[in-house]
A and B are shown apart, each in its own frame.
Chain A
Amino acid sequence: METVLIAILCLLLLGMIAAVTARMPIGRVLTYGGCLIVCLVILGTGLTSIAGPIQRLTLPLGLPGSGTHLRLDALASFFLVLTGLGGAGASLFAIGYGRHEEEPARVLPFYPVFLAGMNLVILADDAFTFLFAWELMSISSWALVMAQHREDGNAHAAFVYMLMAAFSGMTLLLAFGLLAGPSGNYAFDAIRAVSPSNGLASAALLLALIGTGAKAGLVPLHVWLPLAHPAAPSHVSALMSGVMTKIAIYGFVRIVFDLLPTPPWWFATIVLVLGGITAVLGVLHAMLERDMKRLLAFSTVENIGIVFVALGLALAFKANAFTTGVTLALTGAFFHALNHTVFKSLLFFGAGAVLNATGHRDLERLGGLIHRMPRTAVAVLVGCIAISALPPLNGFASEWLIFQAILLRPELPQWGPKLALPVDGALLALAAALAAACFVRAFGIAFLGRPRSPAAEQARETDIWSQAAMLIFAGLCLLGGILPGVVIDFLAPVLQALSGARIAPQVSDAWLTVAPITASRSSYNGLLVFLFISGSAVLTVAVIHRFASSGLRRAPPWDCGFPDPNPATQYTAASFDQPIRRVYGAVVFRTREKVDMPSPGDTRAASIAKTSHDTIWELAYAPIARLILAVATVLNLMQHLTIRRYLGFVFAALVILLVSLTLWQ
């Protein structure tokens, strides 16, 4: 507890030091190196304290009379592991990556503060501290989004982010206000002790879902995420996508599972439905995206949807007091959150490395990077396989757990979860398949084939620090996939605290088999799958080399065995996503294609134009923006009246109020 607190103070101190040293060459190494060490300390504390007793601390700071309450329990410890891991990885990556930063003074001072804010949210044990840390996290990350403010769209992204962050903070403020009750005690212990009335609890639940959902990127509150996450420098993108969204999930779990009594089933239905929609919509957007970092941000939306489906499952089971289901679904949710931190950070590191090497984020300008950046390519490939939920990596293990929870299919008495459960199963399956397609496309277009631009042709392998960060995280992806039992056992204290039960110990099983319910029902052995896959892959490669590569091939003469050297003849990202766009886009994004084919003999070029709409933006946000603009235009007239008219307004208002008072009596 004290260790983490000191770590947070060290981070704030590092931020101040960075403000001074940012322009010196030593500043970058000092800041990121310091953050790396502090994050490792936080990681270590989280790992050790998860099974330990609950620790509390009250500091005489903050609101007068109440102080700052801090608490470190199993749930907080687990999320400290997430922030520690993500923060350490991003800092290690940034030691090398930060060299390319044009204006380090805009990044370095805020980076440690951002980390400190996230860790403080986890430790907070009263609403005031929680909201303070929440806002600290939002503001410092906003400053980081604004770091490259001269690039197109970044200022707009930061503005939208600021609006949504303020909205999220406001709804959480209202939620805590409702929970604190008439006595106004904002300590979480007091909130736990009060049992609010049904209406109050429902309102608080919805507000908490909106507030944390807006931060996590739940559809339809996700609009800021694909704008803001890519706008920040890549290591900050990794933190925002990999860690900050998890802090939002932590907030949701803390309020809904810990502070409030068991929520009603309709709330579980809402979470399930929103989670399913988020997963599919996020991955569809990602599939059609050309910008590498935006693609990753949309994929974050998808993974948030998966985690929320698992949380919704846990809520539905909890409403029916079905403890086995609750533990299984929550384990899946936490495991997936951990995995997402690892592979999304890894992929953002990869995107950052590619961006530095080529200067491009657009997939259509990359290609062939596997030959120029082999280590980055291997690491990104591992991340892509993991995020596509393919065995034997960690993404498969966690999604498999969530599917197991869906497939439990107990007889739920309420129609809501009963209907939502199979639909969500189908949506998750669809999302997983689309994610695989999306990352085959992303990896294939960026790293395989031939370079599509001169910059991609001259790319160089990234620096040693960045490589180390990526390869370590790739190793973690593999470890998490081979040893899911270790992670499941590690999560047991969290579940014990939240649901009062745990999944049977897994590590002692033979050959590291995982059987979350019973071995007769379902089991998964990551190690055997890994050995089988690597064995068969080696065999296939050997066979190909033996019989195909060295075999006799016939090719047309004089073209060096290469039919057409122009890279434009390759399969492009747009051609890869065309089938998906035609099947889903026509409905979801109202995509239209218009082919302009000149008649024979006509010499002008043929063209194809495609249009698509961001349906959610147009349905939900554009009307609000238009309304505000219209009201502001009308009110703008009020800004230019004469003094006598203003006086007249005051006079008229006074008289009207007095008259209405008289009439009302």
Chain B
Amino acid sequence: MHGLSFDIAHMLAGALVLVSFMMLYQVRLYALLNVLALHALVLSLSVAWQAHIQGSPHLYVTAAIALGFKAILVPWALRRMVFRMGVHREIEAVVSVGLTMLAGMALVALSLEVMLPVTAKADPIAREDIALALSVVLIGLLMMVTRRNAVSQVVGFMSLENGINLAATGARGMPLVVEISIAFSILIAFIVIGIFLFRIRERFDTVDVGALDKFRGGQG
């Protein structure tokens, strides 16, 4: 039984990394938002499985929050926003997809290399989870750095937060109040960013952050 539960947990965490990679090569915003919803879905499955094998019912709450907020509410809201701003047809990429993917692979290798020796004495499930969660975080950051569109940067930020969530649930004894407060802070961050997106859009007629830099006198 232990073997199977470990394998399933491992598979779900791995799937999360895989979905992160899928994000990296999406150039259309709607497709990107779909992948974000998928990302959150995989996260909520993973958290639910953790709840099952750890026997801690409060993690089901976390899974439900992930499913409700991150897999449904946030992608839906972002989709509406993209539609209302009329940027849903935009295609964007700064660094070539191949290069980004290679960088992402290097990051996964790096996080495994860092985390596995450090957590040698930890519970094997938590150990794998934390290593994979770190790669999700790093890929989210990579996405924020390589994209120019503000919506894609928000997506990168959300996926980064998913990685943190994965790490948190992998570790036993994470209090529910922390989970909830993280979820709420993300929600508030999302609202603030959403408002800012509209403000930026109103002023500059675009959500390309390069316009902000031009406004400040930089080269973009």
* A residues whose Cβ falls under 8 Å from a Cβ of B: 640-644, 647-648, 650-651, 654-655, 658-659, 661-662, 665
Beyond A654-B138, A658-B114, list 4 extra A-B contacts (CB 8 Å).
Answer: A644-B209, A650-B141, A658-B111, A662-B110
Contact partner, B138, options A641, A642, A655, Cβ 8 Å:
A655
Q: Is the CB of A647 within 8 A of B110?
A: no
Given contacts A658-B111, A665-B117, whether A648 and B218 have CB atoms under 8 Å apart is no
Given contacts A647-B144, A651-B142, A651-B145, whether A640 and B218 have CB atoms under 8 Å apart is yes
**Chain B, 81-125, contact with A by CB distance < 8 Å: what is the 0/1 string?**
000000000000000000000000001001101100110000000
Please give, as numbers and ranges, the residues of chain A lying within 8 Å of B212 by CB-CB distance.
642-643
**Chain B, 196-220, contact with A by CB distance < 8 Å: what is the 0/1 string?**
0000000000000110110011101
Dominant SS among interface residues on chain A: helix
Q: Is the CB of B218 within 8 A of A641?
A: yes
- In B137-158, which residues have CB < 8 Å from any A CB? 138, 141-142, 144-145, 148
Please give, as numbers and ranges, the residues of chain B lying within 8 Å of A644 by CB-CB distance.
145, 148, 209
Q: Is the CB of A647 within 8 A of B148?
A: no
Q: Is the CB of B138 within 8 A of A662?
A: no
Name the residue of chain A whose CB is nearest to the CB of B148: A644
Please give, as numbers and ranges, the residues of chain A lying within 8 Å of B216 by CB-CB distance.
640, 642
Please give, as numbers and ranges, the residues of chain B lying within 8 Å of A647 by CB-CB distance.
141, 144-145
* Closest chain A CB from B70 CB (angstroms): 21
Complex CA gap A119/B127 in Å reads 62
Complex CA gap A136/B114 in Å reads 50
Please give, as numbers and ranges, the residues of chain A lying within 8 Å of B141 by CB-CB distance.
647, 650-651, 654
* Closest chain B CB from A643 CB (angstroms): 6
Q: Is the CB of B114 within 8 A of A661?
A: yes
Q: Which 4 A-B pairs have the closest CB atoms?
A: A642-B213, A651-B141, A662-B113, A648-B145
Please give, as numbers and ranges, the residues of chain A lying within 8 Å of B148 by CB-CB distance.
644
* Closest chain B CB from A638 CB (angstroms): 13
Q: Is the CB of B110 within 8 A of A655?
A: yes
Q: Is the CB of B110 within 8 A of A642?
A: no
Complex CA gap A648/B148 in Å reads 12
Please give, as numbers and ranges, the residues of chain B lying within 8 Å of A648 by CB-CB distance.
145
* Closest chain B CB from A55 CB (angstroms): 53
Complex CA gap A655/B141 in Å reads 10
Please give, as numbers and ranges, the residues of chain A lying within 8 Å of B145 by CB-CB distance.
644, 647-648, 651
Name the residue of chain B whose CB is nearest to the CB of A657: B114
* Closest chain A CB from B200 CB (angstroms): 11
Complex CA gap A648/B141 in Å reads 9
Q: Is the CB of B213 within 8 A of A658?
A: no
Please give, as numbers and ranges, the residues of chain B lying within 8 Å of A643 by CB-CB distance.
209, 212-213
Name the residue of chain A whose CB is nearest to the CB of B217: A640
Q: Is the CB of A642 within 8 A of B209?
A: yes
Q: Which residue, of A640, A642, A648, has the highest number of chain B Cβ atoms within 10 A?
A: A642
A–B Cβ pairs within 8 angstroms, 20 of them: A640-B216, A640-B218, A641-B218, A642-B210, A642-B212, A642-B213, A642-B216, A642-B218, A643-B212, A644-B145, A647-B141, A647-B144, A648-B145, A651-B141, A654-B141, A655-B107, A658-B110, A658-B114, A661-B114, A665-B118
Complex CA gap A642/B219 in Å reads 9
* Closest chain A CB from B150 CB (angstroms): 9
Q: Which residue, of B111, B141, B216, has the highest number of chain A Cβ atoms within 10 A?
A: B141
Name the residue of chain A whose CB is nearest to the CB of B112: A662
Complex CA gap A188/B107 in Å reads 55
* Closest chain A CB from B155 CB (angstroms): 14
* Closest chain B CB from A656 CB (angstroms): 11
* Closest chain A CB from B186 CB (angstroms): 18
Contact partner, A642, options B113, B114, B118, B220, Cβ 8 Å:
B220
Given contacts A647-B145, A651-B141, whether A659 and B110 have CB atoms under 8 Å apart is yes
Please give, as numbers and ranges, the residues of chain A lying within 8 Å of B142 by CB-CB distance.
651
Name the residue of chain B whose CB is nearest to the CB of A661: B114
Complex CA gap A640/B218 in Å reads 8
Name the residue of chain A whose CB is nearest to the CB of B209: A643
* Closest chain A CB from B106 CB (angstroms): 9
Name the residue of chain A whose CB is nearest to the CB of B134: A658
**Chain B, 14-35, contact with A by CB distance < 8 Å: what is the 0/1 string?**
0000000000000000000000
- In B48-94, which residues have CB < 8 Å from any A CB? none
* Closest chain B CB from A428 CB (angstroms): 62
Name the residue of chain B whose CB is nearest to the CB of A643: B209
Q: Is the CB of B213 within 8 A of A662?
A: no
Please give, as numbers and ranges, the residues of chain A lying within 8 Å of B118 by CB-CB distance.
661, 665
